[in-house]
Amino acid sequence: MEFSAQQLAGLLNGQVVGDPNVKVSDFSKIEEGRPGTLTFLANPKYTEYIYTTKASLVLVNADFVPEKNIDATLIKVENSYSALATLMSMVENMNAKKSGVHETAVISEKAELGGNAYVGAYTVIEDGVKVGANPQIYPHVYIGDGVQIGDNVTLYPGVKIYKGCVLGNNVVIHAGAIIGSDGFGFAPDSEGRYNKIPQVGNVVIEDDVEIGANTTVDRSTMGSTTIRRGVKLDNLIQIAHNVEVGEDTVMAAMSAVAGSTKIGKRCMFGGQSGCVGHLSIADGSVFAARTGVSNTIKEEGQMYQGYPHMDAKLYRRAHVCFKNLPDMRNTLIQLQKQVEELQKLINK
C-alpha cells in the first residue's frame, strides 16, 4: 500500500519539506535507503547519511536543520523515532491476522476461547483456561490449568504458560518464553541436603506488556510475581519469584532480577545488568550494561554503572584511573626507589 508524504504528515501531525506528493510503500534504514521507501533520522551519529540516502522520504525531528542539500523529502515531527513506531504499527495492523483452530490443537472442553481466535498446530489449552477476544496463539504453545488471558494477546511458537497465571490485554510473548515456572526455592536440612519449597503463587502480567524470546518469569513462592503495565522485556531475561517490575520499565537482553526485588516505574536496564534479591529500586533508575545492583536505591532518576553499582559519572572517572593503574604502579615503584636513595643520603 502506498502513502504520499502529505498523507503521512497528516497522520503524524508533521510538516512536509519538499515534494508533498512523493509516495512510499516500504521502510528502509537511512544508510541503505532505496527509492520508494521511508526512513528516519533520530540518532545524530547517522546524520551524514541523510545527505546521501536514496530513500524518498525521511522522518526528522522538528528542530533538525540541514547543513547542505538533501534530495529526499522530509517530514518534520516532534519525535521521529516515535513517529516511525506509529507508522510501523499501523502497517502491521493492516496485515491480515491468522484465524481458525488447527485440527491438531488440543483444547479442553472446560476452556473458554474468545471470538476471532487463531490457535496453531499442536497447541495445548488445559482445563479452566479463559482466553479473551482476538488471540493469536501460534503452534506448540502450552497454556496450563486455570490461566486467564485478556483480549488481543499474541503468543508466539513454543510459549509455555504454567497453571494459574494471569495475562492482561494486548500482551505479546515471543517464542520460547516461559511464564510461571517454579521459583528457585530450596531449604537445606540438618544434613546439608536441599529440599524443594513448593512455589504456590503465580505470575500476573498486566496490559501492554511485551516479553522477548526465551525469557523466563518465575511464579512466586506465595502471592504473585508481577509485571506491571507497559513493561518491555528483551530476549533471554530472568525474572525470579516474587519480583515486581514497575510500569513502563524496560530491560535489555540477558538481564536478571533475583527474588523479591521491587523495581519502580520507568526504570531502564542495559544488557547483562542484574539485581540481587530483596531490594527496592526507585522510579526512573537507569543502569548501564553489566551493572550489578547490590543495594536498595532510594533516590529517583539516577544513572548507575559498574559492580557494585555506583554513580555512572563516578564510575567513568574511576575507570580512567583503573586503566592507568599499570603506569601508576611503575611510577610508584620509581618513586619508592628515589625515596630510598634519598633516605640513604640523609642517613650518611
The model's pTM = 0.86
From 241, 278, 309, 319, active-site residue? 241
* Residue-level pLDDT at 325: 87
Instruction: Look up 309 and say whether it is catalytic.
Output: no
CB under 8 Å to 142, separation ≥6 — which residues? 123, 124, 159, 160, 161
* Residue-level pLDDT at 17: 96
Cα-only R_g, the chain: 27
Query: How does 152-183 read in b/e, with b if 16+ C-beta sit within 10 Å?
Result: bbbbbbbbbbbbbbbbbbbbbbbbbbbbbbeb
pLDDT tens digits, the chain, 348 residues: what are they?
799 999 999 999 999 999 999 999 999 999 999 999 999 999 999 999 999 999 999 999 999 999 999 999 999 999 999 999 999 988 888 877 899 999 999 999 999 999 999 999 999 999 999 999 999 999 999 999 999 999 999 999 999 999 999 999 999 999 999 999 999 999 999 999 999 999 999 999 999 999 999 999 999 999 999 999 999 999 999 999 999 999 999 999 999 999 999 999 999 999 999 999 999 999 999 999 999 999 999 999 999 999 999 888 888 888 888 888 888 899 999 999 999 888 888 887
d(CA 187, CA 66): 64
Pairing between β-strand 292-293 and β-strand 160-161 as defined by DSSP bridges = unpaired
d(CA 225, CA 166): 10
CB under 8 Å to 46, separation ≥6 — which residues? 30, 31
Is 8 within 8 Å of 87 (Cβ atoms)? yes
Query: Exposed/middle/buried for 6, CB within 10 Å: 0-12, 13-18, 19+?
Result: middle
* SS3 annotation, the chain: CCEEHHHHHHHHCCEEECCCCCEECEECCHHHCCCCEEEECCCHHHHHHHHCCCCCEEEEECCCCCCCCCCCEEEEECCHHHHHHHHHHHHHHHCCCCCEECCCCEECCCCEECCCCEECCCCEECCCCEECCCCEECCCCEECCCCEECCCCEECCCCEECCCCEECCCCEECCCCEEEECCCCEEECCCCCEEECCCCCEEEECCCCEECCCCEEECCCCCEEEECCCCEECCCCEECCCCEECCCCEECCCCEECCCCEECCCCEECCCCEECCCCEECCCCEECCCCEECCCECCCCCEEECCCCEEHHHHHHHHHHHHCHHHHHHHHHHHHHHHHHHHHHHHC
- Dig out the grid coordinates for 54 from the structure: 536514496
Predicted confidence (pLDDT) per residue in 316-348, tens digit: 888 888 888 888 899 999 999 999 888 888 887
* Residue-level pLDDT at 16: 96
Sequence letter at residue 225:
T
* Residue-level pLDDT at 91: 86
